[in-house]
Amino acid sequence: MAMRSGLRASLLSPAFLVAVCICVALLSVFQFSFRAFVPGSMDVGGLTLANFTTLNKSIYLDAFINTLRLSVETTVLSLLVAYPLAYALVRVRRRVLKSAILIISITPLFLGEIVRTYSWIIVLGSNGFLNTMLRKLGIIDQPLSLMFTHLGVLVALVHVTIPVVVLMLATAISHINRDYEKAAQSLGAGPIRTFLTVTLPLSMPGILASVTTAFAWTFSAFATPQMIGGGRVPTVSTLVYQLGFSSMNFPLAASLSVAGLAMTIAALVILGRFTRRMKLAGGH
Amino acid sequence: MRTHHSVSLPLRIAGPVVVFLILAFVMLPVVVAVLAAFNEKAMLSFPPESWSLKWFERVFTYSDFKDGFHASLIVTAWSSVIALVVGTGLAIAVKRLEFVGKETLQAILHSPLVIPHFTLGLGLLILVSQLKLQRGYAVVILCHVMLVLPFVLRSVYVSMENLDERLEQAAASLGASPLKVLFTITVPLLAPGLFGGWLFAAIMSFSEFTASLFITTQATQTLPVSMYNYVREFADPTLAALSAVYIVVTACVLAFANYFLGLGKVLNIEDSH
């Protein structure tokens, strides 16, 4: 059935326009990252590489390393925590239980970074939930400092990525043909062995997708490191904001963004290769 | 047939316990925030010693929140509908048509899933200031369309997978024009998926923060941005009260959507075997 070209154009042109806007926005950042900074204005000077040489300072390098570390830790932890949830979500048979798991695990996704992060502040603060509980139970005398720490930021970031990882893993697990599992069991494999040799390798597409997304989301997170880290857990995102809105040095903010984007892409390519290799090793 | 009998007892107990503990971890901050909202004291502490509703009153009277809510409604309404139209058109075109650059177009439109929101926000800010344009609603809406489009695409693709093409062929063989087939057969059959996609886009847009922080001004400041500014200025539980309202409304919307739409289907997580 040949669609008329008018219909074709009306289906495609809005999407094409949005795609152009995305590209133009990214090109603006790219272009600005090579421009000289004119203090006190959004106007910029001539072409220069100075922004990128400025990035070679310990404050920026530390932020890069810290962001990378947070992203890797968050990705691994959220995979470990989300897998059992996704598995239960797909395999639990009682509808009420299934709905409860679904609603509870995806609600945080829709609350947005601010509500989630603020809620963690009430949990982690020195008069917060955790410290009060631990003190009442007599486990600690002095409040633990959880706010403004790497650990605090990490826990909140894992919480942010869980819903999306659960959804992606659940999609993959729901497409696994149960006959393979039954075949493994009828050949004498126990439940753990069946899981490790059949279910886990077959859910690799979901693992690959969720690793990519969890990594990128953590890299991109701003409110969580800013509010829970309070400046003591520097990340690329918090520095970009600071450079832009405190120093008004938008060219340097742009070059930091470009470097960050390059690092995200590099990390995703490496992670993708690694996961694909695991998939091959596990599948055969 | 379930092979339940082959699963040993410790595993059968450990599984549910692990799942319960993880659900408790996910729920913990949400429950704590709701409880903290009723704390009478002006300092953020937990658990509350005396209870009060005064922070809820402040939520509904604080002018920045009212303006933010208003701005968020405008941005959400426009961006979710635009994203739905753009996403549905693309999904149908991708499924039914061959065209040059199909893969590239899809890759670009999905890229906001991995491109940091601060990069896109910064990009739009630079673009607008270089073109000497006003940072009005149009820019914020455009930005949100980019960010929520991948979610709309996902849910439209899923419902297209489940669409029986023979129904469209039947209509066409009875003489319906392609346009008529599209609007009388395809779109109505896709309706639950389209509604699910729109709903996701709307909630994501309503709570988007990072990119909005870069591109909104005092006049277009969305609710999450005014919430962020509030935390930087005040330390009282008002934001806990606002979070509580947010949490209850979101959970209700999702529960209703699950009841009427079957979120499992929309999200493509139904066990298909």
Q: Which residues of chain B are within 8 Å of residue A12 when distances are taken between CB atoms?
A: 89-90, 93, 97, 99, 105
Which of A261-265, B66-70, B86-90 shows the lowest per-residue confidence on average (mean pLDDT)? A261-265
User: Which pLDDT belongs to residue B15?
Assistant: 85
Q: How far does the CA of residue A280 sit from the closest CA of chain B (Å)?
A: 24
Q: In the predicted model, what is the mean pLDDT of residues A215-228?
A: 93
Q: In the predicted model, what is the mean pLDDT of residues A17-37?
A: 95
Q: How far does the CA of residue B262 sit from the closest CA of chain A (Å)?
A: 9
Give the total residue count for chain A. Answer: 284
Confidence of residue A246 (pLDDT cuts 50, 70, 90): confident
User: Which pLDDT belongs to residue A108?
Assistant: 86
What average pLDDT is seen over chain A?
A: 88
pLDDT of residue A88 exceeding 90: yes
Residue ranges of the domains in chain B?
Answer: 62-266
Q: Which residues of chain B are within 8 Å of residue A248 when distances are taken between CB atoms?
A: none
> Which has the closest alpha carbon to B55: B34, B30, B31?
B34
Confidence of residue B198 (pLDDT cuts 50, 70, 90): very high
Check CB contact under 8 Å for B32 and A122. yes
Q: How far does the CA of residue B216 sit from the closest CA of chain A (Å)?
A: 13
pTM listed for this prediction: 0.90
Which of B11, B22, B203 minimises the CB distance to A110?
B203
Which of B51-60, B94-103, B143-152 shows the lowest per-residue confidence on average (mean pLDDT)? B94-103
Q: In the predicted model, what is the mean pLDDT of residues A2-14?
A: 78
Distance of CA A50 to the CA centre of its chain: 30
Which of A27-41, A87-101, A176-190 shows the lowest per-residue confidence on average (mean pLDDT)? A176-190
Maximum average pLDDT range among A76-90, A97-111, B8-22, B182-196: A76-90
Residue B260 class from Cβ within 10 Å (0-12 exposed, 13-18 middle, 19+ buried)? exposed
User: Which pLDDT belongs to residue A279?
Assistant: 63
Which of A23, A102, A216 minimises the CB distance to B264?
A102
ipTM surpassing 0.95: no
Question: How far apart, in whole angstroms, are the C-alpha atoms of residue A123 and residue A141?
Answer: 18
* C-beta separation of B122 from A253 below 8 A: yes
Tokens read off for B95: 């499924």
User: Which pLDDT belongs to residue A272?
Assistant: 75
pLDDT of residue A222 exceeding 50: yes
Whether domain B62-266 has CATH 1.10.3720.10:
yes
User: Which pLDDT belongs to residue A284?
Assistant: 40
Distance of CA A36 to the CA centre of its chain: 32
Q: What is the dihedral of CA B179, B181, B183, B188, to 10 degrees?
A: -160
Q: In the predicted model, what is the mean pLDDT of residues B6-21?
A: 82
Burial letters A88-125, b for 16+ CB under 10 A, else e: bbbbbeeeeebbbbbbbbbbbbbbbbbbbbbbbbbbbb
Q: Which residues of chain B are within 8 Å of residue A7 when distances are taken between CB atoms?
A: 178-179, 182
pLDDT of residue B219 exceeding 70: yes
Which of B19, B116, B182 minimises the CB distance to A220?
B116
Q: In the predicted model, what is the mean pLDDT of residues B175-183?
A: 87
Question: How far apart, in whole angstroms, are the C-alpha atoms of residue A46 and residue B17?
Answer: 62
What average pLDDT is seen over chain B?
A: 89
Confidence of residue B1 (pLDDT cuts 50, 70, 90): very low
User: Which pLDDT belongs to residue A1?
Assistant: 46
Check CB contact under 8 Å for B267 and A167. yes
Which of A42, A99, A174 minimises the CB distance to B271?
A174
Could you tell me the sign of the dihedral formed by the alpha carbons of B235, B237, B242, B248, in that order? positive
CA–CA distances in Å: residue B42 to residues A24, A270, B3, B39, B58: 46, 49, 56, 8, 12
A47 in contact with chain B, both atoms CB, cutoff 8 A:
no
Which of B42-56, B89-103, B168-182, B194-208 shows the lowest per-residue confidence on average (mean pLDDT)? B42-56
Confidence of residue B2 (pLDDT cuts 50, 70, 90): very low
Residues ≥6 apart with Cβ < 8 Å to B161? B268
Q: How far does the CA of residue A89 sit from the closest CA of chain B (Å)?
A: 8
Helix, strand, coil % over all residues of chain B, rounded to 5 = 75, 0, 25
pLDDT of residue A93 exceeding 70: yes
Which of B106, B119, B161, B236 to mutate to probe the A interface, most A CBs <10 Å? B119
Q: Which residues of chain B are within 8 Å of residue A251 when distances are taken between CB atoms?
A: none
Chain B: residue whose CA lies nearest to A194:
B7
Q: In the predicted model, what is the mean pLDDT of residues A230-234?
A: 89
What type of residue sits at position A116?
A: R
* C-beta separation of B152 from B200 below 8 A: yes
User: Which pLDDT belongs to residue B273?
Assistant: 59
Q: Give helix A150-174 / helix A95-124 axis angle, nearest 10°.
A: 170
Q: Which residues of chain B are within 8 Å of residue A98 when distances are taken between CB atoms?
A: 264
